[in-house]
Amino acid sequence: MRAKKTLIGIAIGTVIGVGGIVAMNAASSPPQGIGVPQDRLTPCPNSPNCVSTDASDPDHKIEPLPLADTEQRTIELIASSVGALPGSRSVLTKDNYLHFEFRSPWLKFVDDVEFLIDAEKNLVHMRSASRFGRSDLGVNRKRMEEIRSRYEAALRTISVPQEEMVATKKAGDAAMPDEQDEFATVQKSDAEWRKLLTPEQYQVARKHGTERAFTGPNWDNKAPGVYSCVCCGLPLFSSETKYESGTGWPSFWDPIKETSVETQPDVSFFSRRTEVHCRRCKAHLGHVFEDGPDPTGLRYCMNGVAMRFEPAEKSDAKPESNEK
């Protein structure tokens, strides 16, 4: 009888303890200075569960990330690298500052991960810290190195050498510039695609995967530019046809050209949909639905990791005056 009461007491205490931790974490908020865009990231406290590029001691120090070719591309690659990890949630992206949260699957311990792009020094400052009393016990450095690995792998995919393009034209035909050759295709082995792409890009573009909503790059990007295939660089969609669909994926009402994409029936997951893939390399991009806006009534719901955003060049030229 005494043993039974002891077990019941332990069970009740466990339920109360776990429930209290879950409730405490559900109501948690970032410490002061975290999640606030400013000139520098908040310094790490004297805790093993915080790492930062600005830390002075080796126990807290991590190396910064290099910038991509543009600040927008850097933001895109960071969002993609972080969004691929389980438990991540984007909290804020403002100018050159990004803030994410990571919640563990069990007791919902919360970690804050921040990035600050420093264009003058050509690097990205990083900081990851567990909220006080809600620690995942030392996973911060490991997580940041995983983000670094994915980010640097994505950097290597920014440019696809033109000499790797394989034309399907007849032997002896004169080679045409890639953007003018409507018959050019890109063919690679599975091993070559794995080497060229990040794990997330490969899973989506070559294995017909789907990124989680509101986690991929450019779903909320409003900058002018062109969205190209991440595998072969073919221009696919323009920002002029992009719109906010509320789905958490980049959505467009029309491709740049009819020959930019191809479609085919998709009957996976016990449903019938229309898959969209790149015409040139057959990369899986997403699906098209008939619930979009005018003038086409279509919604090309694309995966952000399957495309690369190329910002429009800013013109500094002043209009010529008509005065004589």
CATH code for the domain in which residue 38 is found = 3.30.310.80
| Residue 68, SS3 per DSSP | coil
Residues acting as catalytic residues? 301
Are 245 and 144 part of one and the same domain? no
- pLDDT of 179 over the 50 cut: no
Residue with tokens 């290099």: 66
CA distance 148 to 182: 37
CA quadruple 71, 72, 74, 78: dihedral sign: positive
Tell me, yes or no, whether 320 lies in a domain.
no
Planar angle of CA 157, 185, 290, nearest 5 degrees: 85
Over residues 275-285, mean pLDDT: 93
Are 130 and 225 part of one and the same domain? no
- pLDDT of 101 over the 90 cut: no
Tell me, yes or no, whether 322 lies in a domain.
no
Contact yes or no for 125/131 (Cβ under 8 A): no
Predicted TM-score of the model (pTM): 0.55
- pLDDT of 262 over the 50 cut: yes
CA distance 235 to 222: 17
Planar angle of CA 196, 202, 205, nearest 5 degrees: 115
Tell me, yes or no, whether 265 lies in a domain.
yes
Q: What is the 3-state secondary structure (H, E, C) of 126-139?
A: EEEEECCCCCCCCC
Q: Domain tally for the chain?
A: 2
Q: 208: burial class by Cβ within 10 Å (0-12, 13-18, 19+)?
A: middle
- Express each pLDDT in 105-151 by its tens digit: 666 678 889 999 998 888 999 999 887 544 445 567 888 988 998 88
CA distance 250 to 182: 25
Domain holding 194, by residue range, is 162-168+186-311
Are 218 and 289 part of one and the same domain? yes
Over residues 237-258, mean pLDDT: 93
Contact yes or no for 127/42 (Cβ under 8 A): yes
Are 76 and 146 part of one and the same domain? yes
Tell me, yes or no, whether 180 lies in a domain.
no
Beta strands in the chain (DSSP E): 50-52, 65-66, 88-94, 97-103, 110-118, 123-130, 166-167, 184-185, 225-229, 235-238, 242-243, 251-252, 261-266, 273-278, 284-289, 299-302, 307-311
CATH at 304:
2.170.150.20
| Residue 82, SS3 per DSSP | helix
Q: What is the pLDDT of residue 69?
A: 83
Tell me, yes or no, whether 11 lies in a domain.
no
